[in-house]
């Protein structure tokens, strides 16, 4: 057991309004007392985890494999990080019980006509990109920017705003009484996030362990009304990027966490009770699986792109040969997107799309109401496999 500081709690007043009381069943109402207990997250800016020699070796090995994967991805002719970012966002959203097909998620990046869940998950992709491009040190404003991007497509008025009300996890929707976890009161959030940002910039902790601890502390603070889990998982990637562990690639860490959600949630609970080892182990194990997913996906996409190239019969130098790399970044396209991506006229883009349909690379999306959209079905099939719980478990079974 580590000497990592555990949360404490404080007693907080709770007032049940008369107009709300009659909506609550009597059996529940009797359990709602005038006070409840909320967490006080420990200050961690000076805390350091006690990492065993065995775990330190695992972390060092994971860093080495991440560096090799990162170097290999930087040399590819297509943008695999963009594709894996979609897998990460879909898996992170599944942890929150938000699901959609890879096709609809890709459509949501171009059109507001996509299903609502797809729009929400596409917001997760925007949040990931924001997190990866944050400059300088982690700040409260930077965290708010990530959250704003996460919920932008959902048009929620609290996007990017620190909460000014009590939230809780589990229990009932009526009150925090009986909840599994009650995060700190709103008045403590600024100080807690400030402490977290200082900890995030320390340099004497293994970067993978620091990423895991930053994530766990963020989830303990729970600074937003909604979207805390997804925002917190983007911080894992921001930490790996800012600490130089991954300079080019992303890996679907949430896919690894999705493999066993119960253990992940249990590890967060252990962290809050003063034992950081389980969450560090969970993130390390998630990275192991994420690398398997990333490597298998890289090979599958490389084979698919090569197969597409053999189907094309245009003369050398034709712009259609640039289309596969564009599709890896965005597997649902329209003529405007292709024109912009390839630097051609819309008429030329329409011609390229038509030829790609003849080669079986693209096909119409299938819903005329959604307009001029086309999907790379073979690519989307790969994405669906690495973004679903069933697909992730099949990959894990093959490790």
| Cβ count near 309 (within 10 Å) | 11
Q: Which of 177, 215, 222, 259 is catalytic?
A: 222
Tokens of 322: 């640039």
The reply to whether 222 belongs to the active site is yes
For residue 311, list its beta bridge partners: none
Residue with tokens 């902790």: 205
Task: Return the DSSP state at 366.
Answer: S
Which residues participate in the annotated binding site for ATP? 226-233
Counting every residue written for the chain, the total comes to 399
- Helix ranges (H only) for 312-376 are 323-329, 335-342, 346-358
- Going by C-alpha positions, the residue among 75, 101, 67, 68 that lies closest to residue 86 is 101
> Cα–Cα distance between 211 and 240 in angstroms, integer?
7
Residue with tokens 């007032």: 15
- Going by C-alpha positions, the residue among 186, 241, 180 that lies closest to residue 214 is 241
> Cα–Cα distance between 59 and 154 in angstroms, integer?
37
Q: Name 48's Cβ contacts closer than 8 Å, sequence gap at least 6.
A: 204, 205
Angle formed by the axes of helices 80-95 and 277-311, nearest 10° = 130
The alpha carbon of 86 is separated from its chain's Cα centroid by a whole number of angstroms, namely 9
386, 284 in Cβ contact below 8 A? no
- Going by C-alpha positions, the residue among 263, 255, 319 that lies closest to residue 291 is 255
> Cα–Cα distance between 131 and 238 in angstroms, integer?
5
Which residues participate in the annotated binding site? 226-233
Q: Name 10's Cβ contacts closer than 8 Å, sequence gap at least 6.
A: 37, 38, 40, 185
* Residues with catalytic function: 222
């Amino acid at each position: 057991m580590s000497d990592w500081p555990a949360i404490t709690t404080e007693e907080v007043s709770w007032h049940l309004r008369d107009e709300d009381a009659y909506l609550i069943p009597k059996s529940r109402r009797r359990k709602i007392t005038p006070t409840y207990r909320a967490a006080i997250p420990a200050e961690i800016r000076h805390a350091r985890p006690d990492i065993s020699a065995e775990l330190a070796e695992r972390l060092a090995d994971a860093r080495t494999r991440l560096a090799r994967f990162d170097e290999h991805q930087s040399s590819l002719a297509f943008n695999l990080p963009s594709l894996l970012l979609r897998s990460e966002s879909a898996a992170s959203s599944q942890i929150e019980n938000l699901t959609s097909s890879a096709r609809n998620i890709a459509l949501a990046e171009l059109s507001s006509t996509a299903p609502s869940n797809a729009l929400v998950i596409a917001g997760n992709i925007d949040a990931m990109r924001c997190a990866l491009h944050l400059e300088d040190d982690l700040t409260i404003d930077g965290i708010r920017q990530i959250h704003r991007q996460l919920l932008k497509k959902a048009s929620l008025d609290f996007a990017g705003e620190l909460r000014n009300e009590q939230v809780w996890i589990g229990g009932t929707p009526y009150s925090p009484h009986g909840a599994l976890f009650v995060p700190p009161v709103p008045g403590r959030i600024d100080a807690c996030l400030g402490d977290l940002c200082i900890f995030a910039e320390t340099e004497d902790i293994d970067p993978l362990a620091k990423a895991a601890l930053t994530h766990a502390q963020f989830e303990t603070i729970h600074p937003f009304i909604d979207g805390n889990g997804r925002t917190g998982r983007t911080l894992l990637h921001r930490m790996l990027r800012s600490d130089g562990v991954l300079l080019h690639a992303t890996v679907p860490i949430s896919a690894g966490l999705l493999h066993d959600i119960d253990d992940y949630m249990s590890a967060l609970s252990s962290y809050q009770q003063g034992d950081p080892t389980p969450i560090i182990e969970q993130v390390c194990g998630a990275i192991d699986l994420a690398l398997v997913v990333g490597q298998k996906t890289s090979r599958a996409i490389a084979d698919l792109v090569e197969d597409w190239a053999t189907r094309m019969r245009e003369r050398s130098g034709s712009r259609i040969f640039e289309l596969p790399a564009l599709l890896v970044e965005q597997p649902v396209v329209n003529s405007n997107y292709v024109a912009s991506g390839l630097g051609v006229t819309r008429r030329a883009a329409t011609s390229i799309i038509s030829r790609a349909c003849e080669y079986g690379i693209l096909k119409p999306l299938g819903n005329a109401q959604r307009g001029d959209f086309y999907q790379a079905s073979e690519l989307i099939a790969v994405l669906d496999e690495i973004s679903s719980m069933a697909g992730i478990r099949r990959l894990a079974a093959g490790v």
